[in-house]
Chains A and B, each alone.
Chain A
Amino acid sequence: MKKKIIISFLSLFLLFFAGIVITLYIINMTTANLNALLTLHKVEIIRQDLVISVQTVQSNLYTSGTLFGKELDIIVDNVLKLRERAQTCTDCHHEPAIESEILLLQKLTEQYKEALSYFITSTADVQRIQRLQAFAADIGDTIITKSQWMAKTANEALRQKTTSAMEKVSKSKKILGLTLVCALLVVILISLYLINSITKPVAELLNATRTIKTGNLQFRITKQLQDEFRELAISFNEMAVSLQDQYHKLQQTERLAVVGELAAGMAHEIKNPLAGIKVSIEVLSQDLVLEQEDKEIFLGVINEVDRINALLNSLLSYARPPKPASVSFDVHQVLEATIKSAKYSLKTSSYDIEQKRKEINFIKDFDPGVSNIVADPAQLKQVFLNLILNAIDAISEQGIITVQTRKFPNETVEISICDNGKGLDTKILDKIFNPFFTTKSNGTGLGLAVSKRLVEQHGGSITVANNPYGMGVTFTITLPIKPLAEISEQADVEEAAASPGDK
């Protein structure tokens, strides 16, 4: 669009410039024609003046020595005026033929001047004087005849040139008019094109914005827009997708929160009667004399009550997680302890014989740069244990679980637990942290949801991804070395210490 606008404005500028050039050219041409006409008229006046001057001098010549004769000084003035007129003719540019005639006229004027001088100053008999007078008069007559002929010729030329000049002026006017109309049309076309190029995409974007505003988050700009507007439309569509995702997530979060609150409330209400039931069953099983078969039934009831109780505890942990009791501790030690617990749990698994048969190899890849972190070690141990047990569950007979730590410059540590088990379907990866979502037959679907709540409660994050090469998944926990508030406070203290002069 930017390019189009630049090209359009450049075109308009060039058009404007061309218009100016054409207008100036036409004005110059017209002015030149009019000037030529003016000059021709001036020349015409000069020629007429020349004829009048010669006639005046001729008159002076014929009346010389009579009562009507002029004083010599007047005659001299008239002759000099005549000469000046004849001289003026050569000041203008003429065609060679006319130039030659003018030169001849000037030559005649000089001869006339000479003859007049000769006549005026000569002292001789009457016949000689008359001859001198006649000689001068003849030259004067020749000049008049020639001047009149030239005036007539010039008149004809003037008439032709006037007609030609007026035609040129008329043509110039037409060209100028046509140029202006064309320029106006081009300007209108360019303007319309520019307006359309801007308003149409803007209208499309405006319409899309309004549609999104009405809540139709599925709406996308499908029309192929041009230039920057195309990029804008793509960004808009991406924004709409993001908005829709966020909206879905928000909806889900809200829904889960409501469900969690409801479940927690229910758990709280259920736990008390459940405790009563358990105590009553235990009392009954101790007081009554029961057959072994009946005792096992009572024991089964107590176990199920315990299971319900554990489920309710998980629900409560998810809905109202306990506030972390943060202390500085070595994360590697907690991981070591967790792995040990997991191994022990694997060996002493009372309800699943298959678990006991599994051959799991734990690989610890700890970064020595990872120092103590400030967090609740019990809650984190719960998270690590949950993830490791999930990894054990994912491995069918034998496998490797790699526990890795990494320290990042941004004061965070990364703890990843990777297994080479059966992995997860990509479709369920997004749902894995949802409460009550489980892939296990006997799972509650709260383990990972609780783990996520606990990690987030520490200001960290947890993600899951299938391993790029081979089987299994990797859970990655990112935790701040210190709680965010503490980091902020420390930064303030360091800043203050660095600038003691400010105090």
Chain B
Amino acid sequence: MTMRKRSCRLFLGLLFFISAYAPWQGLVFGQTDEILLGIEPEHNIFDQVERYRYLAAYLSDQLGIKVNLTIMSRYGEVIKRFKSKRLDGAFLSSYTAAMGIKELNLEPVASPVNFGGESASQGYIFVRKDSGINSVNDMNGRRIVFVDPATMEGYLFPLAYLHVHGVTDINSFFNNRFYFSGSHASAVFAVLDGRADIGSVKDTVFEKLVRNDPSISRELSVIAKSQKAPEFTLCVSNQFHKDLKERLGAVLLQMDKTKEGKKALRQFEALRFIQSDKSNFDQVEKMAQEARSSIHEHGNN
């Protein structure tokens, strides 16, 4: 191998290295022109994207970099996207955030406070009033709809609840008649439409649906509620530049202090953002541990 060939290969290798790692370098050193934030499906995904676009526009304006959004079709997908698509950050539900912190060392930045003054949410187990279900025993052999295996309110909580009430094998308990609606709202509609007898849902989604259609509260009844956990938290990758993270956090926490920020918050349907840290997810991890045996027993669906 001649000296010229070696030099050529070295140059090409260097070029490849630079092109492959340039985006990361930019992100790490805070010189990137755009960032990508993920959204987990919760309500109607189209409405949800519309709502988050107001926030993204405000952040783009304040940070001076373009903030792009991408929506997930599944709750758990966000973890994969963090790994494969170099997601810079995501608005994560409590369980996904807990998993992300644990597995990917994601860093929580801030959580929104909803119009009710709450930044936390809890899980509901609900049934149709005409189903005759009032306790866990009544659920035996009926159809249950979960939201997604990656949700605290829509999966972990009902599993933990059932486990506490002596149900260790949900396959046999429900005669294998359970499925995942994908979103909290879909779970509510599934029970309402009779496609399932029991459902699990996040309280904020449930209450919002009830506000929009009061007849829902006349048809459904909540039979169990979980402890509260942070509803949504913006978590960023551990590769995210520290300065940019701090600026992002500062912008979010100062939003309710400016006119434009208030307007964006109103469109985003939140009162303000509050700071978040990893300790907020300890109880979720605890709940996950409680449910883990059930998950282990019925398998990861």
Contacts and interface: CB of A to CB of B under 8 A. Distances in A.
The answer to whether A and B interact is yes
Interface of A: 72-73, 76, 79-80, 83, 113-114, 116-118, 120-125, 128
Given A83-B46, A116-B46, A121 B181 contact: yes
Contacts of B181: 118, 121-124
A117 B46 contact: yes
Contact of A80 (B46, B186, B189): B46
A128 B74 CA distance: 17
A76 B49 contact: yes
B71 interface: yes
A117 B72 contact: no
B112 interface: no
Contact of A113 (B44, B71, B148, B301): B44
Contacts of B180: 122-124
B53 to A, nearest CB: 9
A81 to B, nearest CB: 10
A117 B186 contact: yes
Interface in B196-219: none
Contact of B50 (A73, A80, A118, A121): A80
B140 interface: no
B45 interface: yes
B179 interface: yes
Contacts of A116: 46
B73 A121 contact: yes
Given A72-B73, A76-B71, A120 B49 contact: no
B179 A124 contact: yes
A120 B71 CA distance: 11
A113 B179 contact: no
Interface string B141-152: 000000010000
Given A72-B73, A125-B179, A128-B179, A118 B186 contact: yes
Nearest to A73: B70
Given A121-B45, A121-B74, A123-B148, 9 more contacts: A73-B71, A76-B49, A117-B186, A118-B183, A118-B186, A121-B182, A122-B182, A123-B74, A125-B179
B179 A121 contact: no
Given A73-B70, A128-B179, A113 B46 contact: yes
A120 B44 contact: no
22 contacts: A72-B45, A73-B71, A79-B46, A113-B46, A113-B47, A117-B41, A117-B44, A117-B45, A117-B185, A118-B186, A118-B189, A120-B41, A120-B73, A121-B73, A121-B74, A122-B180, A122-B181, A122-B182, A122-B186, A123-B74, A123-B180, A124-B181
A123 B150 CA distance: 12
A179 to B, nearest CB: 53
Given A72-B72, A114-B44, A118-B186, A123 B49 contact: no
The interface centre, meaning the residue of B41, B148, B181, B182 with most chain A CB atoms within 10 A of its CB, is: B182
B153 to A, nearest CB: 15
Contacts of A113: 44, 46-47
Contacts of A124: 179-181
The majority secondary structure among interface residues of chain B is mixed
Interface string B164-193: 000000000000000111110110010000
B46 A76 contact: yes
Contacts of A117: 41, 44-46, 183, 185-186
B192 to A, nearest CB: 12
B280 to A, nearest CB: 26
A443 B292 CA distance: 168
Nearest to B76: A123
B49 A80 contact: yes
A72 B81 CA distance: 13
Interface in B40-96: 41, 44-47, 49-50, 69-74
Nearest to A125: B179
Contacts of B72: 72
7 shortest interchain CB distances as A-B pairs: A121-B182, A123-B180, A124-B179, A122-B182, A121-B183, A121-B41, A117-B44
Contacts of B49: 76, 80
The interface centre, meaning the residue of B148, B183, B186, B301 with most chain A CB atoms within 10 A of its CB, is: B186
A76 B45 contact: yes
Contacts of B46: 76, 79-80, 83, 113, 116-117
Contacts of B179: 122-125, 128
Nearest to B178: A124
Contacts of A76: 45-46, 49, 71
Contacts of A79: 46
A119 to B, nearest CB: 9
A72 B44 CA distance: 13
A92 B115 CA distance: 33
Contacts of A121: 41, 45, 73-74, 181-183, 186
A117 B185 CA distance: 10
B142 to A, nearest CB: 16
B101 to A, nearest CB: 24
A124 B180 CA distance: 6
A124 B148 CA distance: 10
Nearest to A131: B195
A118 B182 contact: yes
Contacts of A120: 41, 45, 73, 182
The interface centre, meaning the residue of B44, B180, B181, B183 with most chain A CB atoms within 10 A of its CB, is: B44
Nearest to A116: B46
Nearest to A123: B180
Nearest to B149: A123
A252 B180 CA distance: 140
The interface centre, meaning the residue of B41, B46, B47 with most chain A CB atoms within 10 A of its CB, is: B46
Contacts of A83: 46
B107 to A, nearest CB: 24
A76 B50 CA distance: 9
A114 B45 CA distance: 9
B50 A72 contact: no
The interface centre, meaning the residue of A116, A118, A121 with most chain B CB atoms within 10 A of its CB, is: A121
Interface in B269-301: 301
A332 B169 CA distance: 163
A266 B44 CA distance: 143
Nearest to B68: A73
